[in-house]
Amino acid sequence: MEEIGLSKYSPIPLTKSYTPKNGLKYVSRVLGSGHTGGNGFYTQKCHNWFKENFGFKNCWLTSSCTDALEMSALLLEIKAGDEVIIPSYNFPSAANAFLLRGAKVVYISSSACKPNMDIAEFKAAITPKTKAVILLHYAGFADNLSSILSTAKKHGIAVVEDAAHALGAQYEDQWLGSFGDIACFSFHQTKNISCGEGGLIVVNKPELCEKADEIWQMGTNRAAYQRGEVNRYSWKRIGSSFLPSELNAALLLANLEHFQEIQKKRHEVWNRYYQELRGLPKSLIGLPSIPSKNMHSAHIFYIILPTEKLRNKAIKKLKQAGVQSAPHYSYLHIEALQQKEIIAFNNSPGIDFERQLLRLPIYPDLSIAEQKRIISCIHEFVYEIEN
């Protein structure tokens, strides 16, 4: 599914990492410094960047978004018997982080026309055992956020924003990642901002910050020791080594310095797709449904095909033109065969995102000519279906 295949055209990949101007320079400085381990100069520079640009006062770089999610489970003291609600259309990390703590994961549907969480199913899934909800901002969109937050507050449920797709996205002029008790971001090579492998956890509840400091560094109070608050550091709680190396942090900072440029180019690509494809029959090519009050992150551009069979034909058509396209997630409640008991609320009659959604290439270096090739290919595909 991921192979581009043979074509007379130069290949267009699905994603492509941005190459920052200062990347090699910063990485070389780290190698020359002798401090390649974590929590050094570049880690702190990245932390400060997020504080200054997004107001994330309490944040920690991690080795991945998966690590950030696992850290959030430890922060919330998730344990056996607790229930955690997540959308079933999701990446396995969202479930793994809480299954590792012994929790029971409750899977719910996406809304009828968007991959975001269905608010009615969220409310129906709440029980006295519900400890947290993992709110996936799919493609950098937030939907029903006010209702989800108020419902969670009413029932005393912690909210973790899975913002892997959402760096730079806003809801009601507020940055995604600043709404929940905790937020988790990804800097994997496929993301808008990348350092190969990396993540970030944002803690918006001040009372959790000391605990986060300790969990981040093997469950010790090493951070307090480094600040001169204690004479030696010791083991305080269950934790892990969640911090990335300075090499990753250096590359991340180099990319963050181009954040505005990267986002501007990605939005241009996203908007061009939307404008050029919106005239096609909606029954054949569905486009992303943009919730109100949103500024999305231009992380993913997807189309919705009527059936899985037609989606596979579209993939083949694009592949013949040298264009890589791909489906996305599977439904976790179906794949979670290792669990003895599955709790799933999946009654939504809407789009079958696992079988109908198709992602198109989007990255800053995608040229107008390359994008026109992709758009023309989709127009030709629709013409062939209709005739």
Residues forming the active site: 191
Q: Which residues contact 51 (CB under 8 A, 6 or more apart)?
A: 57, 59
CA distance 157 to 129: 10
- Both tokens of 2, joined, read 């991921």
Q: How far is CA 49 from CA 178, 244, 249, 322, in A?
A: 15, 16, 12, 38
Residue by residue, DSSP assigns 166-208 as -TT-EETTEETTSSSSEEEEE--TTSSS--SS-EEEEE--GGG
Helix (H) or strand (E) holding 322: none
Distance CA 248, CA 268 (A): 28
Report how far residue 190's alpha carbon sits from residue 302's, in angstroms, rounded to the nearest whole number. 15
Distance CA 360, CA 371 (A): 10
- Give yes or no for a contact between 268 and 177, defined as CB atoms under 8 angstroms apart: no
| DSSP state letter for 286 | B
Query: What does the alpha-carbon distance between residue 130 and residue 165 come to, in Å, rounded to a whole number?
Result: 25
Look at strands 301-304 and 357-360 and give their pairing. Answer: antiparallel
Q: CB burial class (10 A; 0-12, 13-18, 19+) of residue 224? A: middle
d(CA 121, CA 126) in angstroms, rounded, equals 9
Q: Tokens 């229930």 appear where? A: 83
CA distance 242 to 226: 17
Q: How far, in Å, CA of 244 to CA of 247, rounded?
A: 8
